[in-house]
Amino acid sequence: MHSVLKLAMASLSLAAAAAWSAPITFNTALPVHEGGYVWREQLIFRQSADDPTPARRDMQVTGLVSVLGYGVTADFALFGMLPWFDKRLDMRMGEQDLSRSQSGVGDLTVLGRYTAYQYDAPGRTLRIAPFLGVKAPTGEDDARDGLGRLPPALQSGSGSWDALGGAVLTYQTLDFQIDSQLSYQANREANGFQAGNRWRVDGSLQYRLLPRRLGGGVPAFLYGVLEARLLHATKDRVGGSADPNSGGATLFISPGLQYVTKKWILEAGVQVPVQQRLNGSALETDYLFTSGFRVNF
């Protein structure tokens, strides 16, 4: 069950980190110009209904993720991400059907990214940028319903201060762009629960479908997008003991489309798990749909 929370949070934080990037599901090193802002909104829907256990768990998470990026200098940018969640879990307990849900603002993540290496040439650029961030417990982590305290997977926040860091590489040309990211998030304990730490490796290819030939000026681009994400999480700890039904590895493949103009971007994609090796009866993901926009100002 706890892996559901981790996967949802991972997906949403990845989406948020993509605020300054071309990829749909993760961050890259594309620039936010000095003194400029990037605002991103993403609507995310996640479905997990393929539960083989008698509980027949069916979980749906809808998230609206607001992201604001600011270019402090040409090389250093700050990003803030605040999600809003609507979570619902239906399950069967004994002969009863139960439904539990929770809505609210989630945890705020703040990231700093520094472009450590940059090579520019006509019509292309290569950038490598490490980033470091912290997740603050701004979301509700002690929500209750008639059955008592909601499980961590249904809480809007984790209740803990967590740290994350990594590096992102971008190679962009006029015809295509390749991005790759490696990141790690260390989670801390709150309310007797500690979500497992996680590694994440991302890759993305964006290929210009339209216009086929570039003319003068700055035409809008339609990109076809194919992304892959490997997520590995260690087991959660409950009351100091490892939860055997949590953690594991998932590989997502995500086709999508982006319409890119000078001022704004529209994008949508579907993340499909092609390999899930989760521990015990941790709930697997069926799919994750993402759509949103970005604005430069």
Partner 1 sequence: MKFINYIQALGMAVSLLMATAAALAAGPSYRLAVDGLACPFCAYGIEKKLSALAGVERLETNIEDGSVIVTMQDGAILDEAAAQQAVKAAGFSLRTFEQVAPGAPEGQ
Q: How far is the CB of 75 from partner 1 (least distance, A)?
A: 8
Binding mask 174-203 for partner 1 (x = CB under 8 A): x--x--------------------------
Please, are residues 62 and 85 in contact by the beta-carbon 8 Å criterion?
yes
Contact string 224-263 vs partner 1 (x = CB under 8 A): ------------------------------------xxxx
Is residue 172 near partner 1 by the rule CB under 8 A? Answer: yes
Identity of the residue, 34 or 97, whose beta carbon is nearer to partner 1 in the bound complex: 34
* Least distance from partner 1 to the Cβ atom of residue 165, Å: 22
Are the C-beta atoms of 271 and 256 separated by less than 8 Å?
Answer: no
**Interatomic CA distance for residues 9 and 183, integer angstroms:** 14
* Beta strands at 148-149 and 264-278: parallel, antiparallel or unpaired: unpaired
Decide whether 31 or 247 has the Cβ nearer to partner 1.
31
CA distance 246 to 244: 6
Find the Cα–Cα–Cα–Cα dihedral 121, 296, 177, 185, rounded to 10°.
Answer: 110
Counting contacts by CB under 8 A, is residue 124 touching partner 1? yes
* Residue 147 lies near partner 1 (rule: CB under 8 A): no
Binding mask 28-47 for partner 1 (x = CB under 8 A): --xxxxxxx-----------
Choices 2-10, 49-57, 84-92, 218-226; region in contact with partner 1 by CB under 8 A: 218-226
Cβ of residue 202: shortest distance to partner 1, in angstroms? 19
Looking up tokens 């989760």 gives 278
CA distance 83 to 10: 12
- Residue selected from 220, 251, 266, 272 as contacting partner 1 according to rule CB under 8 A: 220
List the one residue from 95, 96, 121, 146 that touches partner 1 (CB under 8 A): 121
192: left (phi over 0), alpha (psi -120 to 50) or beta: left
Nearer to partner 1, 31 or 159 (CB): 31
Helices (H) and strands (E) in the chain, counts: 1, 19
Binding residue count for partner 1, defined by CB under 8 A: 37
Q: Which stretch binds partner 1 (CB under 8 A): 120-128, 134-142, 181-189, 282-290?
A: 120-128
CB of 252 to partner 1, least distance (A): 24
Q: Is 70 in the site for partner 1 (CB under 8 A)?
A: no
Cα separation values, 74 from 6, 81, 117, Å: 33, 21, 12
Nearer to partner 1 among residue 34 and residue 142 (C-beta): 34
Task: Kindly list the residues in this chain that would bind partner 1 in the complex (CB under 8 A).
Answer: 22, 30-36, 71, 74, 115, 118, 120-125, 172-174, 177, 214-221, 260-263, 265, 294, 296
